[in-house]
Homo-oligomer: A and B are copies of this chain.
Amino acid sequence: MPTETCLHLDADVRQDAIKRLKSAKGHLEGVLRMLDDESVYCVDVLKQVKAVQGALSKVNEGVLRAHIRDHVATAALRGDSEAIVSELMEALKYQARV
């Protein structure tokens, strides 16, 4: 965290993220059940795993939007722009592949 100030995730966004992550977890458990079947088809697994990744992307989209709105857009007011921008660029770099 770039400052001593307390930067917290917005409460509503946090609740929404929890709801979405619980749903993603249920989806993941469904994929695990699929994989108990010896005759499972590869492409069905690929699609379901990508669907879980898509759900996780929705979580991150919400968290990212809240972060930019609440912490990045106010950085010049607080005076920690440099740290907050570097941190955000770093976070945007991680990218799921395949």
Residues in chain A within 8 A of chain B (CB atoms): 1, 6-9, 11, 14, 17-18, 21-22, 24-25, 28-29, 31-32, 35-36, 38-43, 45-47, 49-54, 56-57, 59-61, 63-77, 81-82, 84-85, 87-89, 91-98
On chain B, the residues within 8 Å of A1 by CB distance are 41, 43
A sample of 29 inter-chain contacts (CB < 8 A) reads: A7-B41, A8-B39, A9-B35, A9-B40, A9-B42, A9-B45, A11-B38, A17-B35, A21-B28, A21-B31, A21-B49, A25-B25, A28-B28, A42-B71, A45-B59, A50-B60, A50-B91, A50-B95, A50-B96, A56-B96, A57-B97, A65-B89, A68-B85, A68-B89, A73-B73, A73-B81, A73-B84, A73-B85, A93-B97
B68 adjacent to A88 (CB under 8 Å): yes
On chain B, the residues within 8 Å of A77 by CB distance are 76-77
A53 adjacent to B50 (CB under 8 Å): no
